[in-house]
Structure 1
């Protein structure tokens, strides 16, 4: 029997769920045993999962009570304990691009003999991601950029619904002639960014990957808002450098880097060195008469947790069911993990 344990998220601002109650019910009906931890922050209450036929466990109990044969499902980073990870885990590990924390996480799996099935590397045969929060990440990132440009961004950030966020975009101060550019405009994340900008009355310049081949940095700097939704799988020349920010013709006042590849060699915006968060969403890159800030929050879709979770879960639950028989999708995921372990010089 396939057994999955949906854990609570350790990050205080993370209100999403990898699996929503409606899709949990579908899995239970297919004979999957689901355990769901109680949570003080998840947007979906525990009783909704109980009504769907799930067993309910105390918050954070996976580390001590989850059978070793169960698959532990989550979204964002694990707590620091236990140090040795024995289960199969499914979550966004962000561990294969040379991120600073990657070796530590991988060594925890190496020490416990567990496996990371990284959602970031759940790929189809064409190399494209099968499940992602892309649309809502782009929508939320562009929304925050608009609010920052209007000087209407309130902190700390709080989660809401997409309708509430859209209302803020529609009814807020509408500056004439505000311009924006979206890099990666034709992908899921880029489409979300473009729709948020359109709600704010801004028709963005839409760049695809081809537009970054012979990069026109002057054009980027000539916009008020820049939203980057392209993540690279190989090093490329930076889209902007620190020297570019001092260009006297710069109009740009806010960057939303949805990809947040900071800290690794694939960062296309090496103008900042740490992610921002809900308490401090904007890092000031330049002050004075032409200020410039960057927004680089790595859980943007949690600003609209219900909508983002439902869209993600709808794509994920059929793939979870395929774990029972095995599939090439999960095999690719496991091979990526083993390759990452081998890069540490350990077993895999």
Structure 2
């Protein structure tokens, strides 16, 4: 059986990310479960779990990680901090050829690094194994409700990032008193699940898509919308999900029927750039377009939600979109504007909870493959580069990385 020394790196990306792949207690659990593993933690002044919390549980702290076999972080590692010839696990945000990370991938190749991206760790069927999606949904839905309450002067919630943890944030739920509005939640994955978790705990009732469209309520309600509810292929009568995911460019959006009755939109669905947008900027100008607040939890800039012109920051998560001019204005400038919440690192607002959840996933479904010879091919599928060379699955990134030379 292989023996590994794993180093938990301090996050170096700016803005600062306070999350960690393994919390102190999860480090202890991992060491007990995997006897052939050694583990050290690089000291950090910004991590949500303090250095002393690791020390108190007997976890070694070590500044120089050059003797580690595997280095694990959360966000992209700054190029100058990459140690040559090491194996790294982190979210690289390169598989969609994101322009801002081309230099990172180039450096990975030049430094003969093996890069395993959490986002690409999947089952044979393509289902992701680890993600922070649930907490993106939880924080995003909370921020959406906060924005709606603030826009209409209904209530004032403490921002999630100022809450100590989720228990503290949930105390704020009791302040939420909504009129009989309709809330649309798109998506069927972890993100949507997290968003609905918040709405359920706030006492907002879930209704069927049919009732959402055609009935009136004397209380706030929400509906979960799947791709088949707001997309159609003109030349095919029956919805077939596999065809939509394979040929999204052949589909047209039918979301307008929901835009007529929705007050608050929570966008949680993964969006393929070849798929239609939910609606257009021209649709927004129509007199029956009702949506006035959007929590774009996916935060795809210029993506499925055309009002998401930029990502905002955790301390200042919202801005207004003026339907008449198509321009952005300060948040809550005027009620006729659409208020948009768009933050691309929402789980950072509850870093302790999000880190605990992520560590659970790593121990259960990722770390075992380091010690069983990767019998199911999980690590192989998730490896973007091996010893400085792109793997066959990710060879399409060659030109992307070459541009950064």
The TM-score with structure 2 as length reference comes to 0.75
Equivalent position of 1:249 in the other structure: 288
Alignment coverage as a number of residue pairs: 336
Shift of 1:78: 1.9
Distance 1:72 1:293 in 2: 40
8 Å contact from structure 1 (residues 89, 115) kept in 2: yes
Tell me by how many angstroms 1:235 deviates.
Answer: 1.9
Report the equivalent of 2:320: 284
Extract unaligned runs of 5+ from structure 1. Answer: 59-64
1:35 to 35, 40, 49: 40
Q: Deviations over 1:139-196 (max 9, x none)?
A: 1100000001000366794353112222212223x13112211001x32221211121
1:343 aligns with 2:397: yes
Alpha-carbon distance in structure 2 between the residues aligned to 1:288 and 1:245:
16
* C-alpha contact 1:18 1:73 (8 A) present in aligned 2: yes
Is 2:319–2:339's contact at 8 Å kept on the other side of the alignment? Answer: yes
Please state whether the residue corresponding to 2:128 is helix, strand or coil: coil
Aligned to 2:186: 183
Note the aligned Cα RMSD (angstroms).
2.5
**Gaps spanning 5+ residues in structure 2: where?**
151-155, 206-221, 233-253, 323-332
Residues in 2 aligned to 1:247 and 1:53: alpha-carbon distance in whole angstroms: 62
Structure index of larger Rg: 2
Contact 1:136 1:189 in 2 (8 A): yes
Per the alignment, residue 235 of structure 1 pairs with 274
Cα distance in 1 for partners of 2:84, 2:335 equals 51
Q: Does 1:301 align with 2:355?
A: no
Alignment equivalent of 1:171, drawn from 172, 175, 192: 175
Tell me the CA shift for residue 105 of structure 1: 1.8
Conserved 8 A contact 2:157-2:175: no
Equivalence for 1:66: 65
* 1:210 aligned residue (228, 234, 238): 228
Match of 1:260 in 2: 299
The answer to whether the 8 A contact 1:231-1:261 is kept is no
Report if aligned partners of 1:28, 1:54 keep a CA contact under 8 Å in 2: no
TM-score by length of 1: 0.87
